[in-house]
Structure formats: structure tokens, C-alpha cells
Amino acid sequence: MPAVHTKDPSARRTPRRGPRRRLWLYAGAAVIVVWCLGPFYWMIVTAFRDAGHTFDPAPWPTHVTLDNFRAAFDTSGGDHFGRALLNSAIIASATTALALLIGGPAAYALVRLPMGGKTKVLAVVLCASMFPGVAIVTPMFQLFTEIHWLGTFPALILPDLSFALPLTIWILTGFFAAMPWDLEKAAQTDGASPGQAFRLVLVPLAAPGLFTTAIMVFLSAWDEYLLAGLLSNGNPEVAPVTVAIANFAGSQPHQVPYTAIMAAGAIVTVPLMITVLVFQRRIVAGLTAGAFK
């Protein structure tokens, strides 16, 4: 009998996008890009502009100078921007390391270990990540004052860690859930303990998720200002860059050094943007890895 070709009802044709619809799509994307990158572009333009022409409305660099970057690192006026960069690196690195060290095993336990109420635990973790930081400023200020931690690195690292841990656990839980159980069982069959299977087999395979989580936690700790502004207690030895930039002093009384502030903001922001752009594929892969089997 001749073969009868039937059309698969599940197959659907991809709708063709007309040139007008594609034009609107590109126009919308362009508006979003300009809306998001416009303030950053203006910060760069102002950072290279002479202080006497701070409010020049020209949308391109005019009266270009590098004095603003020298002024950002100048300590004669009481600013400590260089020290603040080191402080932010210490705080963000310590927060990231502790978040991965604690959140990784916690996410693994929520996925692999037999226990009840996992959904409720994850719901509590998610609620903790949504808790507003302004609500705990006063209690933490009183607590760290009583234990003499105010103006120290632990007073700045622990609050950041409290907000970084929910994010770490939430991301890594989805990533570990997508990993096959056979790998862990094979390692245990060869004589590995559950801890060794986690450390030697699953952690190397979870590198994309760990890398993504590390970048997001680092950026969150690097940009934190509300808690750091109060808990640093004006100590320049521990104050991060967000606090140092907010306390920039001008060369004249009651003068806001906008150009120096923009130069400092560019120094703080540009490396982070380059890092995200370079590793954007790895970040997206880590965020979406838990959605596929």
C-alpha cells in the first residue's frame, strides 16, 4: 500500500514577523538600552569634565581633564577613597566566601537529604530575602553597640551575609535539583562518603551555578550602602566605597564635588560592568541550569 503521510498536529509553524513588527521590537529595545545606560553615560561624561564646567549641557565630553580622578584619590580633604576600595573588596569577598561555604551545603541538604517540609523551608528562605533592610537597622545598631562591634568588619560582613544567604540557597537549590542522582550513587558505590561525593563530584559539576551565585552575591555586597552607612560609624578604616563616595568633601565649604564623585563612581562601576559583560553567558547559564533536566 502507498505510504500515507499525515501531518503532525503538534507541529506548529513559527509565525513570521513582519518588518513593521520587527522595527517596533528594535525600537523598544533601543529605548530600554538608552534608559538604562543613559545615567551611566552621563556619569562618564561628567567624570572627564573640568569642575568649572560641571553643568555644561553638552551631551558629549567637553573640557576634558583627568584632575577629577586625581581628586578622587586625594586625601588632603579627609577623603579615603583608596582605603575604601580595599575595604569594599574585603567585605564583598568575605561575604561571598561565607555565603558559598554555608549556602552550598544548605542547598544540597534541602535537595538530597530526606526530610519533610522542604517547600516550607524554601518559602521561609525566600521571605528572608524579601525582608527590608531598613527594618533591622536600629536593632542591629543597638546590638553591635552593646557587643562593641560597631565600626568593625564583622558588623559590616554579617548583615550582608544575612541577605546573601537566601539568594545563595535559592539559586543553588534549583541547580542541585537538576543534577542526576546517578553521579552521587556511583561515587558512593566506589566507597565515597556523602560528604566526599558532594565535595569531589557534585561541587566541580556545580561550578557554573557557584560562579553565578558568587558574582551576584559579590555585586550585592559591593553596592550595599544603607547598613554600611550606619554600622561603619564613620570609621574610615572599615567604611566601603559607597559610604566614602557619599562623604566626599569639596575644596570649598558647602561645595559638592560632583565631578570627583562621578570619577569615583566610574572607578567603582566600570570594573563591575566589564566583569558582568565578560561572564554574561556563564551567568545566564548558571541561572537557567536549574530549569532543565
Can you give the pLDDT at residue 196? 80
Confidence of residue 291 (pLDDT cuts 50, 70, 90): very low
Can you give the pLDDT at residue 178? 79
Can you give the pLDDT at residue 94? 95
DSSP structural state of residue 54: T
Spatial distance between the Cα atoms of 243 and 84, rounded to a whole number of angstroms: 8
Residues of the chain with CATH 1.10.3720.10: 81-253+277-291
Packing angle, helices 81-112 and 153-177, rounded to 10? 40
Spatial distance between the Cα atoms of 163 and 127, rounded to a whole number of angstroms: 11
| Helix ranges (DSSP H) in the chain | 19-47, 67-72, 81-112, 118-129, 137-146, 153-177, 181-189, 194-197, 203-205, 207-223, 226-231, 241-246, 258-278, 280-288
Per the CB < 8 A criterion, the answer to whether 124 and 208 are in contact is: no
Per the CB < 8 A criterion, the answer to whether 91 and 132 are in contact is: no
Condensed to tens digits (0 to 9), the pLDDT of residues 71-121 reads: 888 887 777 888 999 999 999 999 999 999 999 888 888 887 777 777 788
**Structural domain 81-253+277-291, CATH architecture:** Orthogonal Bundle (1.10)
Residue indicated by cell numbers 533591622: 136
Condensed to tens digits (0 to 9), the pLDDT of residues 146-188 reads: 998 988 999 999 999 988 998 898 888 888 887 777 777 788 7
Query: By three-state DSSP, how is residue 230 classified?
Result: helix
Query: Residue 282: CB partners within 8 Å, gap ≥ 6?
Result: 208, 211, 212
Dihedral, CA of residue 165, residue 170, residue 172 and residue 175, to nearest 10: -170
